[in-house]
């Protein structure tokens, strides 16, 4: 039941109270304090704190001064007053079999792992930052399971993040079962299958898992390709920006097929991207600063249209119809007549590989393919 109090009044808290509302209907915005009595003076005359069957948390206070500690049913006492804080959080802890309270600012505890290659996540952890670069090796973060001690608790979640500055070491998320690592209890965020270990690769990689009583389920797993809807009287866009201006930076949308390796950057895939303003990479020297590209790794790249009567239009130097340089449709290839046109210089035999309609020449002859692998030639002469 809620309890309502005027400001500057003294009131008591009953063990049935869930919410206290401080209300000053005639006052102006100001800072005020309410004195609480009967808060935690005895077992029978106190706030009803969390226990082994009631696991909810209780947040209290504004300007309370407290320090961390444990309140048990047999030793309940007045809250201590040290380490100034905004309030405290009260919940049940199976490990110590008691209610435990901690600073209000510690509601979401985090742990930094940067000195050991193995870390067993503790019950009060929520966010675990791991820095394998600091020890120059991979770090294994172990989530408890139903067979470990202490055992995992249903509804408990951990967010694991790789903060490796170097980028060459992994954070390996796994589970602990008895004395063995690596039971298939971790849901793979990409495939949805259960694996013994999931690797967080590269700086900034992070994922969250929650224990459902038997396995660690990934939170926010993407099960299907997202669909975006909008209605605006201008262009709609899905934007990706890489703010780095370094000589190796680019912004890419990369799509892999079923055998493509995302982590290993191995195809087959299609890459659509744009280089940074200072781009200079000898491995991709075909493009320079601010250049864009589309290419395939692992197969052919086809570009075209599917409907009858449509054309593939290549343009350069602008985006209006006068900037069209080549039009390809189902019946012809049209080239802007102001453009010089160069075909390969090649000599053909009468049975060279070819299909009808292909043409080539050298200094003496023009070669025309009149059928599959069948060529004829016309001699060239001065005039």
Q: In the prediction, which pLDDT does 346 show?
A: 80
Q: Which residue has the higher pLDDT, 87 or 123?
A: 123
Q: Can you read off the two tokens belonging to residue 282?
A: 């000898």
Quote the mean pLDDT of the chain. Answer: 76
Give which of 216, 162, 150 is closest to 189, Cα–Cα: 216
Lowest-pLDDT range of 16-20, 61-65, 172-176, 326-330 = 61-65
Q: What is the pLDDT of residue 19?
A: 56
Q: Which residues contact 350 (CB under 8 A, 6 or more apart)?
A: 374, 375, 376
Please give the full DSSP string across 270-282, using - where no structure is assigned. Answer: EEEEEE-TT---G
340 vs 292 pLDDT, higher one: 292
Residue reference for tokens 């994922």: 207
Q: Which residues contact 211 (CB under 8 A, 6 or more apart)?
A: 143, 144, 145, 152, 153, 154, 155, 156, 157, 217
Q: Is 182 left (phi over 0), alpha (psi -120 to 50) or beta?
A: left
Amino acid 125: pLDDT: 82
How much is the pLDDT for 158?
Answer: 92
CA distances from 29 to 23, 24, 87, 196 (A): 11, 9, 21, 56
> Among candidates 1, 21, 66, which has minimal Cα distance to 40?
66
Average pLDDT over residues 46-74: 44
The more confident residue out of 376 and 78 is 376
Range 190-219 average pLDDT: 89
If you count DSSP H runs as helices and E runs as strands, how many of each does the chain have, helices first? 0, 29
Give whole-number Cα distances, 10 to 3, 24, 35, 42, 153, in Å. Answer: 12, 14, 5, 19, 40
- Percentage of residues in the chain with pLDDT exceeding 90? 35
CA distance 362 to 35: 101
Q: Could you write out the DSSP letters of every residue in 299-314?
A: S-------STT--EEE
Per the model's pLDDT, the better-predicted residue between 67 and 72 turns out to be 72
Mean pLDDT comparison of 107-111, 264-268, 321-325, 355-359, highest-scoring range: 321-325
Q: What is the mean pLDDT of residues 120-139?
A: 89
**CA atoms of 69 and 336, how far apart (whole Å):** 82
pTM of the prediction?
0.48
pLDDT band, residue 76 (cuts 50/70/90): very low
The CB-side HSE value for 274 (13 A sphere, CA atoms) comes to 10
Determine the average pLDDT of the residues in 111-121.
Answer: 91
Confidence of residue 48 (pLDDT cuts 50, 70, 90): very low
Give the pLDDT confidence of 230-288 residue by residue, as tens digits: 888 998 998 999 988 999 999 999 999 989 887 777 889 999 999 999 999 998 999 99
260, 269 Cβ separation under 8 angstroms: yes
pLDDT above 70: percentage of residues in the chain: 66
N-to-C CA span, the chain = 108
User: What kind and span of H or E run contains 297?
Assistant: strand 292-297
Stronger pLDDT, 124 or 233, i.e. the higher one: 233
Residue 84 DSSP one-character state: B
Q: DSSP state, 5? A: E
48 close to 91: Cβ distance less than 8 angstroms = no
Q: Taking 60 as the threshold, does the pLDDT of residue 32 lie above it?
A: no
pLDDT greater than 90 at residue 52: no
Instruction: Please give the DSSP secondary-structure letter assigned to residue 203.
Output: T
Assess whether the previous peptide bond of 268 is cis (omega < 30° from 0). Answer: yes
Closest CA to 90 of 126, 123, 129, 61: 61
Which strands, in side-by-side order, build the sheet including 324-328?
312-315, 324-328, 333-335
CB atoms within 10 A of CB 285: 9
Residues counted in the chain: 383
pLDDT number for residue 181: 78
List the 359-361 sheet strands across, edge first. Answer: 359-361, 365-371, 374-379
Least confident of 86-95, 134-143, 348-357: 86-95
């Amino acid at each position: 039941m809620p309890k309502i109090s005027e400001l500057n009044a003294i009131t008591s808290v009953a063990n049935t109270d869930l919410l206290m509302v401080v209300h000053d209907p005639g006052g102006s915005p100001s800072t005020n304090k309410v004195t609480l009595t009967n808060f935690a003076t005895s077992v029978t005359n106190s706030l009803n704190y969390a226990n082994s069957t009631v696991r909810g948390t209780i947040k209290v206070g504004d300007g309370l001064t407290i320090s961390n500690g444990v309140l048990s049913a047999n030793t309940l006492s007045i809250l201590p007053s040290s380490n100034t804080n905004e309030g405290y959080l009260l919940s049940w802890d199976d490990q110590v079999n008691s209610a435990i309270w901690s600073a209000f600012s510690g509601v979401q505890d985090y742990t930094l792992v940067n000195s050991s290659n193995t870390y067993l996540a503790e019950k009060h952890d929520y966010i675990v930052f791991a820095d394998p670069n600091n020890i120059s090796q991979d770090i294994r973060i172990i989530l408890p399971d139903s067979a470990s001690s202490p055992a995992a608790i249903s509804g408990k979640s951990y967010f694991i993040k790789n903060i490796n500055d170097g980028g060459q070491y992994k954070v390996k998320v796994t589970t602990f079962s008895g004395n063995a690592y690596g039971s298939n209890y971790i849901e793979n965020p990409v495939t949805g299958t259960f694996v013994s270990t999931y690797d967080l690769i590269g700086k900034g990689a992070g994922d969250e898992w929650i224990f459902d009583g038997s396995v660690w389920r990934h939170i926010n797993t993407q099960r299907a390709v997202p669909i975006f809807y909008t209605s605006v009287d201008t262009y709609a866009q899905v934007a990706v920006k890489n703010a780095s201006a370094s000589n190796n930076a680019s912004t890419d949308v990369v799509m892999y097929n079923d055998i493509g390796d995302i982590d290993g950057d191995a195809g087959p895939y299609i890459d659509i991207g744009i280089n940074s303003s200072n781009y200079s990479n000898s491995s991709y020297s075909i493009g320079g600063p601010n250049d864009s590209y589309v290419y395939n790794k692992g197969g052919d790249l086809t570009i075209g249209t599917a409907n009858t009567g449509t054309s593939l239009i290549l343009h350069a130097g602008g985006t209006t119809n006068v900037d069209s340089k080549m039009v390809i449709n189902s019946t012809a290839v049209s080239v802007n007549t102001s453009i010089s046109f160069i075909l390969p210089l090649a000599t053909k035999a009468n049975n060279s590989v070819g299909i009808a309609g292909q043409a080539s020449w050298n200094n003496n002859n023009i070669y025309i393919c009149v059928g599959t692998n069948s060529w004829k030639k016309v001699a060239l002469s001065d005039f």
